Structure 1
Amino acid sequence: KGLDSRVLVKLEYLNPSGSIKDRVALSMIEGAEREGKLFPGYTIVESSTGNTGTSLAFVGGMKGYSVKIFETTPGKMGAEKRKLMESYGAEVKALSPEDLGNLQGGVAGAEVELPGRLLCLELESRDEKVWWARQFSNPYNVSAHHVTGNEILEQTDGKVDAYIASIGTGGTLMGVAQVLKREIKDVRVVGIQPSSSKKKMVPGEPYPRSEIEGGIVADMLDAPGLIDEVVQLSDEDAVNMAHRLWREEGIFAGISSGANVHVALEIAKKLGPGKTVVTVLHDSGDRYLTEEHYVT
């Protein structure tokens, strides 16, 4: 309403298990199969409190693998996501304070998510039939979204002035940005992170890398000219826009989707008449019935 430009949203919650991470899970698993790292009878492990765990459970289960997901951030995984993972056959384990305490000692200044990754590394090192997906550094996380980027080009006839996406692992933003920047000279790419994040992301400035697996986000921010801006957004703004989407557009999307649309509208206002801003709706609002927070 009140815009002379247009904002287009790509409905990624229409993927089979309900989120954009289905693309990533399929890409990472099939990449590992092609490279001889993942075989029938193996167990897939990952540390996740969100959609990647659900999608790995879905795709991995469909392909006949055992899947084990570690929840390492207390309170971040809603009951809905846990039940979905378990319904797809995954084992979901919440690490106890004792587990976290023992593991955190191995990483200086570790954030709470790192202990789960250390546990995945330990399991993979100990058992040759365990494969850790490494979502935060796996190149197939990024390349999965080259497909997403090409779809956006096709669906918009190449008319994109700005692309907006929340930053979690960084795969969605980086993969799509690589395609759009290659094909459209002046396209603007904007990332979003929660204002509550401890580490602020600034394009062109060094970003801390995990000691155990590197990181897509650091590579993305280091890439000259790939990301034009990263903005911070509050819980309140993200949640309010998610609510507006279902009230005004009949779209029941998740909280990060609300964040994407909030920023997309702001960018559209700045760009002015006749411009096209594209974003993605990562998942559905039915994954946030227990708690509504903007986390990535």
Structure 2
Amino acid sequence: MQPQSAPVDDQREAVIKVRGLRNQFGTQVVHDNLDMDVWRGEVLGVVGGSGTGKSVMLRTIVGLNKPAAGSIEVLGVDVLNGSEQDRKSVEQRWGVAFQDGALFSSLTVLQNVMAPMREHLKMSHGLMKALGELKISLAGLPPLACGKFPSELSGGMRKRAALARALAMDPEIVFLDEPTAGLDPVGAAAYDDLIGELQRSLGLTVFMVTHDLDSLYAICDRIAVLAEKRVLVDGPIEMMTDVDHPWVQEYFTGPRARAAQVKGLGKG
């Protein structure tokens, strides 16, 4: 089927523009001629079946994977072909929280959060420490967490620590890779609430790779479905049930989807 998109408000600003993207590993083509826009201030949920390259897409946008073809523009900067100075500058305007946290195991939570500041900012240790503690608090962790090592944290606390580090540089865009994976339902709901609150209070744009239907209904403004090596459809979640595609139908109209919809309506 042909890619489908919801009508676009001409007043919205695309902070991420992906055009003609091709990701390939050997003979395996993951994405081919993929186009995607992410609008300022939205929470975009990126979904798709196993092997559709959701995390590959995220890693490609943030520069951890070099595509075989295509263009990527983030906040007006060509991140594939721009100058090194331009790329470094725009990298300071986004934050990334990976699925496993990707925290430095030999550093405390506070030291992990301060790491991007040490690399990019010229400020006193005392100011960095104060800012780090603020970010940790914003991520919903208690002050005692500052001095703990990743191995001493629960899975949920590690995810919040990773989020605190992603917020370290006051980013405009936050990338989240499966943020609620491995969390119990209560912990996942609390994390969703935290992301929604931070997005509203800080004016963030959130690019969230997820398979969690509860998250899609709770906090996402728009959904992008990866299938057939491209963005098959994008739009509000209410639009997904009308898409004539087997995976989309199964995912968004099955029993789990109906239960998630009830939860989402309950929150409203």
User: Do the two structures share a fold, i.e. TM-score over 0.5?
Assistant: no
TM-score, structure 2 normalization: 0.29
Q: Which has the higher strand share?
A: 2
